[in-house]
A and B are shown apart, each in its own frame.
Chain A
Amino acid sequence: MRVLAIDTSNLVLSVAVVDESRVLAEMTTNLRKNHSVRLMDNISLLLDELELSPQELDGIAVAKGPGSYTGVRIGVATAKSLAWSLGIPVVGISSLQAVALNACGFTGGIVPCFDARRGQVYTALYQSQGMNRLTEMAAEQIILLREWLPLIAAETAGRPLLFLGDDVALHRETIVEMLGERALFAPSAFNHPRAAHLGWLAIERIEQADDPHSLLPEYLQVAEAEAKWLAKNSATK
């Protein structure tokens, strides 16, 4: 079984082809460049290198968010269209989990963070079970970092917490201020999602694949106009 995996949910663009036992090819770039322009070209390049035709793929994996709304949409729209037109399953996986998978085997709490502006982060808390499984200790959410840190500190009973993601650099001071030496920071290669991880997880989950039509991004928040409308209309009641 060969799975094509895609992550365009933040600045990083990562594509990979994996089978049950190996990563066949993977390409990850961290450029401030348009995913819309580059994603299909990167997929095309990867398959050409492998001398594979799209028809030789058995599944698609995609990071479905949270992250940049536009980035996530490009990934999901591409993944569901590929899967549907090829007649193969598609598996949507949390973009936070994609990054957390880098730290499989770490014994403390694993905390991927994407900046969500105004002091907020998209984040979740994971724990590694051996080398190949992550359990979710706190569900993915959008939350003020200053509210989040005490919550996960209490949840992990004195164990170290590993913060992952390029955006962690923006919040490092706050994290250190609130958690002191319990906070650990990873070398740069751990901060980027790797599509190969997504592909591997998708193969595990291929039986519970999504119907391509119903695969949707996970934004973790309603559109701003929607939020304002809801606030206004619940206030007047």
Chain B
Amino acid sequence: MGEFTMMTKAGTRYQQRVQQTLQKHKASDKPTYILGIETSCDETSAAVVEDGRKILSNIIASQADIHKRFGGVVPEVASRRHVENITLTIEEALQAAGKTFDDLAGIAVTYGPGLVGALLVGVAAAKAISFARGIPLIGVHHIAGHIYANRLVEEMEFPLVALVVSGGHTELVLMKEHGDFAILGETRDDAAGEAYDKVARALHLPYPGGPEIDRLAKEGTASVPLPRAWLEADSYDFSFSGLKSAVLNTLHNAEQKGTTINPADMAASFQDSVCEVLVEKTLRAAKQYQVRQVLLAGGVAANRELRERLVQRCQSEGIKLVIPPLSLCTDNAAMIAAAGYIGYLKEDFADLDLNGVPGLPLATSSLQ
């Protein structure tokens, strides 16, 4: 028993090798290169980021065309593609960055939330490489990644509030320092991106619906009366299912009466409702917590209307707004490496039992 305890204290050989890599890197004056791996949904992505801020490579093998014919992401199909692409994508990222495994200080991988079968591929690959090469492993929350995409553009200033909007998420997150996340509000039903997809389908627009609605809305006017889900006066939560139903009912009723609604007007009206609620709640949170920055993150951050409105409102209120370029709004591994860099500095390393966690909550005090 005594011997067993001693063995546990010494750790596994893997843990020792990870420590050696860490100490060696700390003793050197080399920049910190983190390999990021992201497979939470339908993009297989790998990236190398220097010191959490500078992208050396960011390779994305998109499956969008494969899922288009199904009208949405099919988890089993996505998982199969990840296995096909995973090592090739990582190799491409290393080559494009001009780095080898020996240059890496850490490997950061998305371990949730997301599609479990998809997450498992990235997690398995990250653990295997970490084990093979003795490189520290960092588990990253996908939303933390989206928020840290902004740090690849501009340094964060705390406190800040981040509006995270994507196909799977609608969240307002308050950050007081690096790696510290407090959720102020989140959606109670559909994510904003989900509502976009469903409304797009009702308007007979192709998948994915977000960009289509955004494009069509520019040709119409917000003339169809639709509800705004403010919820309770002090709530930062969101709800989009009522809005979605209102759109479907309005379209249905018009059809029954034999009248037509201009799809462009409907798109503009829907977008008007979504953006108004997102922007106003964000601004209210920004004022209440006296933030130094507002960040926009997630796939829906590519939406022009949302960007324009946030820019306008933040300008008029004198609040600093940071929006990542479109290429960093959608799922990518550079943002995972950027978030993983904070975990690296905190030496918050995962062990070989790291698992993919589909419903992983965004904890308040750590990247994990």
**Interface residues, chain A, CB within 8 Å of chain B?**
34, 36-41, 43-45, 47-48, 53-54, 69-70, 73-74, 76-82, 84-86, 212-213, 216-217, 219, 223-226, 229
Contact = CB atoms under 8 A, between A and B. Distances in A.
B129 A85 contact: yes
Given A76-B83, A223-B77, A44 B352 contact: yes
Contacts of B91: 84, 213
Contact of A82 (B14, B76, B121, B132): B132
B125 interface: yes
A33 B14 CA distance: 22
Nearest to A224: B76
Given A47-B13, A70-B117, A78 B124 contact: yes
Nearest to B84: A216
B127 A40 contact: yes
A109 B123 CA distance: 40
20 contacts: A37-B353, A44-B12, A44-B14, A69-B76, A69-B117, A73-B80, A73-B120, A77-B86, A77-B120, A77-B125, A80-B86, A80-B87, A81-B86, A81-B124, A85-B101, A217-B80, A219-B80, A225-B70, A225-B76, A226-B77
Interface in B64-78: 69-70, 74, 76-77
A70 B120 contact: yes
Dominant SS at the B interface?
helix
B117 A81 contact: no
Nearest to B77: A223
Contact of A36 (B13, B84, B123): B123
A78 B128 contact: yes
B343 interface: no
Contact of A223 (B12, B80, B83, B88): B80
Interface in B41-75: 69-70, 74
Contacts of A82: 128-129, 131-132
Contacts of B82: 77
Nearest to B80: A223
A36 B77 contact: no
A225 B67 CA distance: 10
B271 interface: no
A213 B83 contact: no
Given A84-B91, A85-B101, A36 B12 contact: no
A150 B76 CA distance: 33
Given A44-B12, A81-B128, A213-B91, 14 more contacts: A34-B355, A44-B13, A45-B12, A77-B83, A77-B125, A79-B128, A81-B132, A85-B132, A212-B87, A216-B84, A223-B76, A223-B80, A225-B74, A226-B74
B133 interface: yes
B43 to A, nearest CB: 16
B356 interface: yes
B136 to A, nearest CB: 14
A36 B74 contact: no
A104 B364 CA distance: 56
B131 A54 contact: yes
A188 B103 CA distance: 48
Contact of B125 (A34, A81, A217, A219): A81
Interface centre among B121, B123, B124, B125 (most CB of A within 10 A): B124
